[in-house]
Structure 1
């Protein structure tokens, strides 16, 4: 390899390859190839910065060496990151999640603390490989974590590693090549017409009657309906602006801190519900005005549509628990609060709303996603259409 004429030192980017043998404890020989290169001089010591790479074959190492020395020659070479996976995860969650919702950050931190760091935290970031990550995912499944949980863990790790790629700590994302367990979508269980009738009867006079009915006939998510504020209710135009949701994060001493955050996809949407819904909201406005007068100085002016009698936000778990009690009483113990949203979507499609309108009202990212979720409804509508056509054919053919 060429040497600097005056100093006799290796030129920056210079490289060499050699074959190496290691004798294991069982006496077997393991052979591999090692490439060595320099990337300049340490400004403090004046000594060469020497590095090594390894591979199973001479050709593999030669290819890696060509890529690295080319980067050195072009001035775009970055030294390998010396952080461990655990150290990088800490840096990532502290410095690179500024535009992420607090509730999401809390979820990320939980995945990192409970799963990622215990399994991979001690490994060097630059030494992390796809097989190592795949083994980790497989272990999670064997320990009983659901496919959805494994997918969530992968989502956090993949984002963190992708950021490491973006800033040059990694050449590629080793989690890209991993396979995940298949997540099977849970069967939707919207309320049918009879169940909705029974629900309407059971909820009459309930403290959360208006809340439940507005949810059922608008399809809003629980956080969205609990985070609905009066400035987003336009009685004149008969419309609602869905712009935020009520969320909580766990603070000190496991104390829950509630706050208003942006919607799930971060986008605003305007819906025009049935007059029935707007009438319910007018009654809620009057009811809340009475509460305000009764509470006096104790009233908290949260601006929320659904509050307790002091103007404070409702607790999501309480709303859910009361809902479960109601549906058990009418023989639907498996129904979830989110099924009110599904019930709205199915009813809207069956009533003749086009998929694009349903998508917009639900706040889905695409109409394709709405079709994917509620495709079984459109299939039923096609069968109904076929039945109607069959009746028409019989009527004109005399059969």
Structure 2
């Protein structure tokens, strides 16, 4: 297959037949202008002819990126959880499409994507959020390459900002005891008690049903969560490993029994006004407790107890840290938290390891040398 190079005003162009229909004989020709010299045009033509000969040439896709991304997301959303899908949709709608949506898929370049990533950093988005947006771009563009819509993944060489890990804030044993003492009279005491003693996430707590609690065996089976906005129940959990069973403390079983009796009294008092979702943590009429209301109560009680200000999610970290400091096998801690791998647990709570190392050395010294 041959092509030709010729003068085009003050510049040069090349022209080549890239495909011939075997039935009609119709030729598809490609022409590219804008080369400043004949040598540049010949060099570009040689690259194209080599791709045609080796059957690696791809006709550039003029599909707008936002159109391709919408199709990609329809497939992707079936492979991820509901919460993750909502996050993807938000990142695509408010960040990716406004900046990159109108580019033809084939016109996206590493420089264009790098400038976009840099703009997100300049806007003040956290490095973790930027990484999530990058992952969406990388995943979708890689898929386009696999489908042979584009010749290469232009996102793979984009440089990301260094992700700084926020220091985990936890309460020590005395601070936990002090908080729970002040929270004792709160209607939502059981939520705080479970968070500290099981490491359950907020959505897992607010989606917990009595049918998933076995008070006789002292276990909880996590099979449902509440969405972040408090509007939907989600079957399953954040990840496959998050669908798990947690063994309860003896005191936690006692607290749950007491709480259940209170729920039954409220149900009788409300009568037909009670909406029974079988929730462990709910309003006095059985309806879903708003995540915001739970956080508001948590902050107020923390202030009242005069303990260090932490996030509600840090109660989960407090649970994990306490177990590790007690010398509990990290594998067990990972299972209670619903981590897919013990390495995730060790990486997240690496700040605890030096203390564990010191304690292990002291114990071994005592065993060997008295």
Normalised TM-score (structure 2): 0.88
Task: Tell me the equivalent position of 1:362.
Answer: 337
Q: 1:236 to 1:392 in 2, by over 3 A?
A: closer
Residue 16 (str. 1) matches residue 6 (str. 2): no
Task: Tell me the equivalent position of 1:36.
Answer: 16
Conserved 8 A contact 1:219-1:342: yes
Residue number among 57, 63, 77 corresponding to 1:83 in the alignment: 63
- 1:256-311 deviation line (CA, Å, top 9, x unaligned): 73222431113321111211122222222222221221122222121221111111
Task: Tell me the equivalent position of 2:258.
Answer: 283
Task: Tell me the equivalent position of 1:311.
Answer: 286
Work out the number of aligned pairs and report it. Answer: 364
Name the SS for the 2:358 alignment partner: helix
Structure 1 portions without partners, runs of 5+: 1-13, 24-28, 250-255
Q: Aligned partners of 2:41, 2:176: CA distance in 1, in Å?
A: 68
Task: Tell me the equivalent position of 2:125.
Answer: 145
Q: 1:289 to 1:34 in 2, by over 3 A?
A: farther
Q: Aligned partners of 1:321, 1:165: CA distance in 2, in Å?
A: 47
> Within 5 A, what are the aligned runs for 1:1-399?
14-16=1-3, 18=5, 34=14, 36-41=16-21, 47-52=26-31, 62-71=46-55, 79-248=59-228, 257-267=231-241, 268-389=243-364, 396=370
Comparing 348-357 and 52-61, the one that deviates more? 52-61
Tell me: higher relative CO, structure 1 or 2? Use CA pairs within 8 A at least 6 residues apart.
2
Q: 1:110 to 1:312 in 2, by over 3 A?
A: same
Comparing 338-347 and 158-167, the one that deviates more? 158-167
Structure 1 residue 347, shift from structure 2 partner? 1.0
Conserved 8 A contact 1:214-1:280: no
Q: 1:79 to 1:290 in 2, by over 3 A?
A: same
Name the SS for the 1:50 alignment partner: strand
Comparing 223-232 and 101-110, the one that deviates more? 101-110
- 1:82-104 deviation line (CA, Å, top 9, x unaligned): 21112222333345423333332
Q: Aligned partners of 1:71, 1:237: CA distance in 2, in Å?
A: 64
Q: 1:57 to 1:374 in 2, by over 3 A?
A: farther
Q: 1:263 to 1:118 in 2, by over 3 A?
A: same
Normalised TM-score (structure 1): 0.82
Q: Aligned partners of 2:294, 2:41: CA distance in 1, in Å?
A: 63
Conserved 8 A contact 2:81-2:239: no
- 1:214-234 deviation line (CA, Å, top 9, x unaligned): 111000111111111122112
Structure 1 residue 391, shift from structure 2 partner? 5.9
